[in-house]
Amino acid sequence: MATTVRKRRATTIRASGLPEDALEAIHRAEKRSGKGAVLRGDQLPRCNHIPTGSFILDLALLGGFPQSFPTMAYGKESTGKSTLLLKGLAQYQKKNPDRIVGLIDSEGLYDPDWGAKLGVDTTRMLVTQPETGEEAVDFFEDWLQIPSMGVVLIDSIPGCIPMQILQKSAEDDTMAQLPRLMGKLCQKWIGTGNAEKRKGHFVTPWMVNQYRMKVGFVLGSPYTLPGGRQINHIPTTKIKLALAKTVMGKDSMGIDVPEYDEQLFKLEKTKHGASIKEGAWQLILNPDNEAGLEQGAYDNVHQIMTYGKKMGFITGGGSSWKCLTKETNSTKFGRLSEISEFLQEHEEERDTLARSIISHQREMKGLNALPPDGYLTSHIGRLVKLKEVS
Tens digit of each residue's pLDDT (9 = 90 or more) over 58-105: 999 999 999 999 999 999 999 999 999 999 999 999 999 999 999 999
Q: What are the start-end ranges of the E strands in 94-203?
A: 100-104, 125-128, 149-155
pLDDT in tens, 247-281: 999 888 889 999 999 999 999 999 988 788 999 99
Among 10-24, 179-193, 206-220, which stretch is predicted with the lowest mean pLDDT? 10-24
- 197: CB partners within 8 A, 6+ apart: 68
Assign domain 300-366 to its CATH architecture.
2-Layer Sandwich (3.30)
This prediction has a pTM of 0.86
Maximum pairwise Cα distance, the chain: 90
Q: What residue segments make up the domains of the chain, in order of their start?
A: 42-240, 300-366
Degrees to nearest 5, angle at CA 232 with 229 and 233: 85
Question: Class for domain 42-240, per CATH?
Answer: alpha beta
Contact yes or no for 267/278 (Cβ under 8 A): yes
Q: Please report the pLDDT score of residue 51 as a whole number.
A: 94
pLDDT score for 220: 81
**Bridging pattern class, strands 125-128 and 223-224:** unpaired
Give the CA angle between residues 362, 153, 129 to the nearest 5°. 170
